[in-house]
Amino acid sequence: MNLTPDLPEQFASDNYSGICPEALDYMLKANYGSAPAYGDDYWTQRAADQFRELFQTDCEVFFVFNGTAANSLALAALCQSYHSVVCHETAHIETDECGAPEFASNGSKLLLGKGENGKLTPAAIETIVQKRTDIHYPKPKVISLTQATELGTLYTIDELLAIRAIADRYQLRIHMDGARFANAVAAMNVTPAELTWKCGVDVLCFCGTKNGMAVGEAIIFFDKALAEDFAYRCKQAGQLASKMRFISAPWVGLLETGAWLHNADHANQCAAYLEQKLLQIPGVQILFPREANAVFVKLPEAVIAALRAKNWLFYNFIGNEGVRFMCSWATTPARIDELVQDLEQTMCNS
């Protein structure tokens, strides 16, 4: 493990990146004098208003520290303990949150569905929902979708509308894990409204950390009734920041300057560039359609080991297949070229 303080840029995850200039600039702007604590401050009000403007609707907005809390608390708000949540088998809430959604909801079970490229299908959802309707099985209440997905793919507007139709048929709510929501908006050239409440999304967890902030997630309830008492839930879970202005001011920086979209677009374009370079190397197989800021490749074990020996850090457990290279706001083409060069060399030698 390379633990130097000046580790060169990596492709393990977008949360390996630093703080983008706009987020940092606004954090410094907020570092003036005193401000009311627990979110009753100027910056938090302004950030919430910016979200209402961005989504072109009167939504309820909450700020928490991280994605695990955002997802878990949002799902808990939609479920009773005897309810269940339908999600893809590769969903972060299932594979990477240590049971936090079940913990926060006092036991709402996750029901796992399959589907190509990390996406749930209406048919898969319907099969799960229809499987049991008796009192002995937890009642399905929510569909959780990740946009962009854990495998770097995107739900199209048509796919989201088809899932909403199923949700309406069975009276299910829709939660969206937007760890890479900005990347999806940038890639699809749609408005945030079109990708959420206009497709029937009830609550969105919009990630700031992976978009360029130091820390912070926004939880956005489009159905305001679902947000009743949600502030208490956040507080009880230890997710109410007392100096909230330092989470909300960077959000203002991202939203006001447009950096949120620019950062995401940059990350997507870097991934496209990386994919195009990788496709030119014989023996490298791209695993899923590259639609946002991740590229998944199948590589021989020896090549993986050789890349690690050259101090490249990356994950190869996501989706249980292949290696994931993730680009961020901070990714540089020069570093992509270095990665590709090392990969090419090790492929030739193996």
Ligand X SMILES: *Cc1c(COP(=O)(O)O)cnc(C)c1O
The footprint of ligand X (CB under 6 A) covers 66-68, 71, 92, 146, 150, 177, 179, 209-210
CB of 67 to ligand X, least distance (A): 2
> From the CB of 300, what's the least distance to ligand X, in Å?
26
> Least distance from C-beta 71 to ligand X, angstroms?
6
Amino acid at 50: Q
Cβ closer to ligand X: 234 or 303?
A: 234
Task: Give me the least distance between CB of 149 and ligand X, in Å please.
Answer: 8
Q: How far is the CB of 225 from ligand X (least distance, A)?
A: 25
Nearer Cβ to ligand X (292/347):
292
Do residues 221 and 51 make contact, with C-beta atoms less than 8 angstroms apart? Answer: no
How buried is residue 112: exposed, middle or buried, by Cβ count under 10 Å (0-12/13-18/19+)?
middle
Nearer to ligand X, 50 or 209 (CB): 209
* Position with the least CB separation from ligand X: 67
Exposed (0-12), middle (13-18) or buried (19+): which is 115, by Cβ within 10 Å? middle
CA separation, residue 224 to residues 80, 140, 179, 227, 228 (Å): 18, 21, 21, 5, 7
Nearer to ligand X, 295 or 347 (CB): 295
Q: How far apart, in whole angstroms, are the C-alpha atoms of residue 174 and residue 35?
A: 36
Nearest CB to ligand X, comparing residues 39 and 67: 67
CA distance 175 to 75: 7
